Structure 1
Amino acid sequence: MTSSPPRRRVDPDRRRRIIDATIAVIEAEGVAGTTHRRIAAVADVPLGSLTYHFTGLDELIRLAFEQVAEASSDGVLARLEQATTREEAITATVDVIAGNLWSTPQTLLLSYELYAYAARHPEIAAIMRGWMARSRAALERHFDPLTARAIDALIEGIGIHDSVDTDPLTPEQVEAVIRRVAG
């Protein structure tokens, strides 16, 4: 009796699971602590799967940050795109900031890692520029480009500050700041 070749496990979501695991490892260990072995363990895949599906750790980190940037901006953009007037855009921006649509604990932590990593890796900085361009384009539907840029910075900046501030801004204070910037 001849033995048949081993059956290959069908796992169509493996690539996505590995990227998700990379995000989890970056969140838990930081980029500096992200290794192939840790990613494989979290993804529950053989170590060889990483080199089969990806060219290396740099690609995994880039894809993870692309996914984080896209997911982070999607919620913000969805809320901003509901606005049809400038007044609704101000309200939407307040909702984004005060409602923590962008600044969840996970997003903040991953954003810190992304900013630090991008400072040393220009190809990753391009991901951030794409994220900012998407936000600014949504804001520019209601504000001039300079104001949109300032409001975009406030969305991230206030979220970052409020994450560690013992007295975070109230929605009313956020609205007052946005109205001052918007003129």
Structure 2
Amino acid sequence: DNAELGGQPTFRRARAGIAYVPQGREIIPDFTIRENILMGSFARADGKREIPPLVAELFPYLIENLDRNGGVLSGGQQQQLAIARALAAEPKIILLDEPNEGIQPSIVEEIENVIIRLNREVGLTVILVEQSVSFVRRAAHRFAMMEKGRVVASGDIGDLSDAMVHRHMAV
């Protein structure tokens, strides 16, 4: 919408359609799955407090267990819950900070597929902070590499060379 959001309070950014999934998930362990998801709906511009159908479609396990506490979920399930919470805001842009960090490999692929689907099928703009170059190459259209807070390389994902990765990323 070309609105300047720099310097705006976080609630205004959220109401403008930007959702954030933090590294480490940051769910509320004593809240139920339902309550955790509905926390995201407070950022909706239309004021509705509901679980969007997209959440049920992407995360049926969460819907089947709405009355369980979020704290009993595995790390991967908590990550799915954090993504569901962000989607409850019905955002235009979703920012995910290292969504696969600390997640068991069996769930990583599920989460990656959801993120790719959100962009390609749902049409959400996805901003991904990620160290897994293979996932970035599968998921992204464009990239920006940062080093010490500065963009050191950017472009179409096809331009992301192995040499560039080795030059700017510590392995």
TM-score bracket for the superposition, by shorter chain length: 0.3 to 0.5
- TM-score, structure 2 normalization: 0.33
Structure with the larger strand share? 2
Larger Rg: 1
- TM-score, structure 1 normalization: 0.31
Structure with the larger helix share? 1
